Amino acid sequence: MNCSRREFLESGLKTILLAGLPLSAFEILKPEALASIMKGKGRRWAFLVDVTKCVGCGMCVKACKLENEVPYDTKVSRTWIERYVALYDGRVLIDSPMAGRDGFPRNDPQGQKVAKEDIAKAYFVPKLCNLCQKSPCVQVCPVGASHYTPEGIVLIDRSWCIGCGYCVMACPYGTR
C-alpha cells in the first residue's frame, strides 16, 4: 500500500477525532432529545437509587408515607422494599412486610426461619414509581387526572380523579 507520511498523519488524526467524539454526542439525534433542545426548557429530573447499597432499613418507605401523608398503617406505599432470599434448595423467598416500612430487623423471609448456611444469595430491592417517559398510567387516565409536569414528573390531580383504577391496572411495575 502506498501511503505518504502526510496522508498517514491526516487520516490518523481524523480517526482519532472521530473516535474521540463520544457516543453520547449522537444522543441529540433522538427525536425526544432533539425536541427538547429545539423547544428549550429541556430539563428532565431523574431520581437515582444505587440498589447495591440498600441495607433494607426501610426509612425511605417511612419518610415517603410521612412526607406525602399516606395513611401510615395501610399496607400500600408508592416506595417499597423487597427482600429476596435465594436458598440452595432452589426456593426463592421474597417478601415485603408492610411494604418494608419497619425495615427487616429479623431474618424471617416470608415468616420462615432460614439458616445462614442455606442461603445462596440474598439482597434488598428498593422500588419506586419509575416516572416513565411514556407512562401507561397517564395514557389510560380517562379524565386527565394523571399527567406530567414540565419537568417530567407524573402527578395525580386529586380533585379530578374519579377513582376508576385503570392506572392501577395499566402500571407494569405495580406502583400505582
Residues 7-26 that bind another protein (CB under 8 A): none
For the record, the C-alpha cell of 118 comes out as 442455606
Interactions with another protein, residue window 139-168 (CB under 8 A):
139-150, 152, 155, 157-166, 168
7, 10, 27, 67: which one binds another protein (CB under 8 A): 67
Mapped onto helix, strand or coil, the DSSP state of residue 63 is helix
Name the residue nearer to another protein (CB basis): 13 or 92: 92
What CA–CA distance (Å, rounded) separates 98 from 89?
A: 27
**Are 94 and 110 spatial neighbours (Cβ–Cβ below 8 Å)?**
yes
Interactions with another protein, residue window 118-137 (CB under 8 A):
119, 121-123, 133-136
| Piece of the chain touching another protein by CB under 8 A; list 4-12, 14-22, 59-67 | 59-67
Distance of CA 143 to the CA centre of its chain: 26
Q: Where are the beta strands (DSSP E) in 9-164?
A: 80-87, 92-95, 119-127, 146-148, 154-156
Is residue 2 at the binding interface for another protein, with CB under 8 A as the rule? no
5, 45, 52, 90: which one binds another protein (CB under 8 A): 52
What CA–CA distance (Å, rounded) separates 120 from 6?
A: 61
Name the residue nearer to another protein (CB basis): 21 or 168: 168
What CA–CA distance (Å, rounded) separates 140 from 133?
A: 14
Is residue 76 at the binding interface for another protein, with CB under 8 A as the rule? yes
Interactions with another protein, residue window 102-121 (CB under 8 A):
102-107, 110, 116, 119, 121
What CA–CA distance (Å, rounded) separates 43 from 66?
A: 28
The residue among 45, 52, 74 whose CA lies nearest residue 61 is: 74
Quote the least distance from Cβ 156 to another protein, whole Å.
8
Name the residue nearer to another protein (CB basis): 5 or 113: 113
| Piece of the chain touching another protein by CB under 8 A; list 8-16, 20-28, 52-60 | 52-60
Size of the site for another protein (CB under 8 A): 85
